[in-house]
Amino acid sequence: MNIAKLLSSIAIVSALVGCAHPITINPDMSKIEPSAGAQPIKKNVAYYIADDVRTKEVVTPGGGGDRVSYQPYRDIETAFYKMLTNVFGNVVKLKSPKDAEAISKNNVAYVITPQLVTDSSSPSPFTWPPTKFKVDLTCSIADAAGNPILSKQVSGAGEAEFDEFKADFSLSARRASQDALLKMQQALSDAQELRK
């Protein structure tokens, strides 16, 4: 009987410690603003995120042995779109990577495909929200015919301590995605290949 109780207790503790808490990594949209003095690239662009990628759930470490779960592409898509509109003349979303009709109709010069890699951590043994978060954002850019033009990669980092995140458990993640998007905005704006 005692062994059964012990095993039951271990199972309950394992379930509690191993759970993944849902968070979101969407940044503060008011912070995704055009860079001061940047000249827009007067080209129309499109971006493509596959449906299965958009809904993909990612699980990374939190504090206290717990984990956090989120859908990074879904979470940042609106801010990603806004970032692109800060750089280019017009931005459209494609249903497929080679949507010839939409590319032609919108006079698209470049097709941009984002890739996200995320990670998180926290040294806290008592609280589960991550105190550190990292977002690696890569944009692969092709011309309207699908020929690769260039690829840009940036890393965004976000941190938040207990006094800050107790009102927003996603704070370090939001800060990391904001950092990554603003760095990508600068990288795209500085890419002379896209201004030809």
Q: Helix 72-87 vs helix 171-190: angle between axes, to the nearest 10 degrees?
A: 40
- Close Cβ partners of 9 (under 8 Å, ≥ 6 residues apart): none
Q: How many distinct structural domains can be found in the chain?
A: 1
Specify if 189 maps to a domain.
Answer: yes
Q: What is the pLDDT of residue 36?
A: 87
Specify if 2 maps to a domain.
Answer: no
Question: pLDDT tens across 87-127, in order?
Answer: 999 999 999 988 999 999 999 999 999 999 999 999 999 89
Backbone angles phi, psi at 133, to 5 degrees: -140, 145
Specify if 67 maps to a domain.
Answer: yes
Specify if 10 maps to a domain.
Answer: no
Specify if 5 maps to a domain.
Answer: no
Specify if 154 maps to a domain.
Answer: yes
Per-residue pLDDT of the chain (196 residues; tens, 9 = 90+): 455 443 343 333 334 445 799 999 999 999 999 988 889 999 999 999 999 999 999 999 999 999 999 999 999 999 999 999 999 999 999 999 889 999 999 999 999 999 999 999 999 998 999 999 999 999 999 999 999 999 999 999 999 998 888 889 999 999 999 999 999 999 999 999 999 8
Q: What is the pLDDT of residue 51?
A: 96
Q: What is the pLDDT of residue 165?
A: 86
At 36, which CATH number? 3.40.50
- Give the closest residue to 146 by CA, choosing from 109, 107, 91: 109
Domain that holds residue 57: 19-195
Q: What is the pLDDT of residue 4?
A: 45
Q: What is the pLDDT of residue 3?
A: 52
